[in-house]
Amino acid sequence: SDLPDEIKKELLGGEKFKVTLQAGELIEEIIGEGSPDLFFIHRKDIVLRKSEFIDDRTLLVNCDKACSDLNREFIEELKKPETKLYFTLEKL
């Protein structure tokens, strides 16, 4: 993964993080935590999980939202081919 080493260290320490997703003018925030069992090896996918399941795509576990919890307008915006998704990871 392209994450800075300091962020990886904090994630492996189980620190809490906020992910902000922006699509157009719409914003979703998801709170989750790291785990000492994270891999950071998948080059293309990131998964935020409500559970504690971990595979090579997992970035955060015990998140407060799943895809089904996201605002429907946000999902519809993501379906548009011209929409860019901006992803921000912030330690809490």
* 31-90 residue pLDDT tens: 999 999 999 988 889 999 999 999 999 999 999 999 899 999 999 999 999 999 999 999
Q: What is the DSSP letter of 79?
A: H
How many whole angstroms separate alpha carbon 39 and alpha carbon 24?
31
List the domain boundaries for the chain. 5-81
Q: Which CATH class is domain 5-81?
A: mainly beta
Handedness of CA 4, 6, 11, 12 (dihedral sign): positive
Buried b (16+ CB within 10 A) or exposed e, 57-68: bbbbbbbebeee
Which is nearest to 48 in space by CA: 74, 16, 82?
A: 16
pLDDT level of residue 1 (50, 70, 90 thresholds):
low
State residue 2's pLDDT score: 82
Query: What pLDDT was estimated at residue 69?
Result: 95
